[in-house]
Amino acid sequence: MFPGVSSSPISVTPVTAIANPPPVVVSGSPALPDSHSTTASAVGVQSSVTPLPTAVSVGTGASAAAVDAKTTPLSSIDNLLSQGAANSVDGASMMDTTEFNKVSMDLGKTNASPLEEKSPDEEPLVFTNKLEAKNAFKALLESANVQSDWTWEQTMREIINDKRYGALKTLGERKQAFNEYLGQRKKLEAEERRIRQKKAREEFAKMLEESKELTSSMKWSKATSLFENDERYKALERPRDREDLFDSYIVELERKEKEKAAEDRRRNVAEYRKFLESCDFIKASSQWRKIQDRLEDDERCLCLEKLDRLLIFQDYIRDLEKEEEEQKKIHKEQLRRAERKNRDEFRKMLEEHVASGSLTAKTHWLDYCLKVKDLPPYQAIAINTSGSKPKDLFEDVYEELEKQYHDDKTRIKDAMKLGKVQITMVSTWTF
């Protein structure tokens, strides 16, 4: 007899231990029993129960709570077992037997505590459609921080006691949502890894640029000792990526160094050429061996090798020769034009003298020269270095006058023979 419990005509049959009861799932709760032993414990069955007296008096208003908490009416056990069996058949809220046994055995090793009865405020989750239920299940996976390389069994251990586990009613739906989550998780992790590695590559390149000791001739094996303790070096996971970025940077560094060297050389050459142009003693006929000592004292010579200075000097001398040749051509052309103008002026003077009669076919050069030697046209043409001389131009005019004289004389004779012309004694002829 239990103390404080009055006798009652209602008899209480002792409940004996149920050996290896089937798994039981409480409707509306996703929690599953950890093992067969915990199932028995959850429904209030003892492994060994001392028989109670056959007649137990229960006073008016006494509740079932007055009975030892370790005992449960058999009808309750039957109901739970029946409900678990039904749920196992229709698959609405339980996994298949194999899946359940596998998970329950694992859970039994780590958690042997009995299931607590569902509190009154734990109501089943209700979703308007399948998509909402699937999203709730995926949210459960995310809140449990399920990784992309987890197995279904590993995931079950983390989420099975969460009421959102029951959002999807069948194992197939849960596994499908689980696989979709893994695919999305892998894509997300791949993108995060890509972004992380991209930033790591940028930081690695920045690390190389900031190094003052790095040169284009340095090898990777030596460079690693410079950067191996730098966090930016460690952040780039693959050694091959580090070496590839280093090689690319070295190629770019070598290109920049060559460009800078070429630019420095162009600047130094220009400065030295400017220095040579400022030296008035350098002529087109100057020789390097005779003037190089006069050039060595300038600081601009220190920026170039001796051979480079010689080549620049020779190039400058060639330019002086070309310039001198051009000046000669220009002067020669100017002289040619001036002399031609002098000849034209002298011819004009001859024509004027022919028109005035001071120059005839009977005029001799010496007489004419004495007459015009002090006139500007004669003095100008007298200094010509090329072309016709004054006497040559005079003889050209003289020959023309003489020819005209003979032609006129012949025509007059012919006219006289025909009687067209009569000559009197008073007539005079001027030739």
pLDDT digits (tens, 9 = 90+) for 230-280: 999 999 889 999 999 999 999 999 999 999 999 999 999 999 999 999 998
Please, which pLDDT band fits residue 422 given cuts at 50, 70 and 90?
low
Residue 424: what pLDDT? 64
Identify residue 255 by its one-letter amino acid code: R
| Higher per-residue confidence, 243 vs 125 | 243
CA R_g for the chain:
63
Is pLDDT above 90 for 94?
A: no
Distance, in Å, from the CA atom of 419 to the CA atom of 415, rounded to the nearest integer, reads 6
Whether residue 80 contacts residue 43, with contact meaning beta carbons closer than 8 Å, is answered with yes
- 430's CB contacts (< 8 A; 6+ apart) are 357, 360
- Please tell me the predicted confidence (pLDDT) of residue 339: 93
Q: Cα–Cα distance between 16 and 185 in angstroms, integer?
A: 50
Task: Tell me the per-residue pLDDT of 285-325, one tens digit each, with 9 for 90 and over.
Answer: 999 999 888 888 888 888 889 899 999 999 999 999 999 99
Q: What is the pLDDT of residue 227?
A: 92
- The CA distance from 227 to 206, in Å, is 12
Query: pLDDT category, 65, cuts 50, 70, 90?
Result: very low
Between CA 11 and CA 52 the distance in angstroms is 10
Cα–chain center distance at 133: 45
Please, which pLDDT band fits residue 58 given cuts at 50, 70 and 90?
very low
More confident residue, 139 or 48: 139
Contacts of 53 (CB under 8 A, 6+ apart): 1
Provide φ and ψ at 139, rounded to 5°: -65, -35
Instruction: Give the type of residue at 232.
Output: R
Output the pLDDT for position 13: 35
Task: Output 214-220 pairs: Cβ under 8 A, ≥24 positions apart.
Answer: 214/253, 215/253, 216/250, 216/253, 216/254, 216/257, 218/250, 220/246, 220/247
How far is Cα 99 from Cα 153, in angstroms, rounded to an integer?
8
Is there a contact between 275 and 300 (Cβ–Cβ < 8 Å)?
yes
Taking the C-alpha atoms of residue 139 and residue 133, their distance in angstroms, rounded to an integer, is 10
Return the pLDDT at 293.
87
Cβ–Cβ < 8 Å for 146, 108:
no
Check if the beta carbon of residue 295 is closer than 8 Å to that of residue 258. Answer: no
Q: How many CA atoms lie within 13 A of 341 on its CB side?
A: 8
How many residues belong to the chain? 431
pLDDT score at 185: 93
The two three-digit tokens of residue 28, written as one number: 């509306």
195: three-class secondary structure by DSSP? helix
CA–CA separation, 396 and 6 (whole Å): 174
Residue given tokens 């596994």 in the structure block: 175
386 neighbors 339 (Cβ within 8 angstroms): yes
- What pTM, to 2 d.p., does this model score? 0.44
Q: 128-166 in b/e burial notation, b at 16+ Cβ within 10 A?
A: eeeeebbebbbebbeeeebeeebebeebbeebbebbbbb
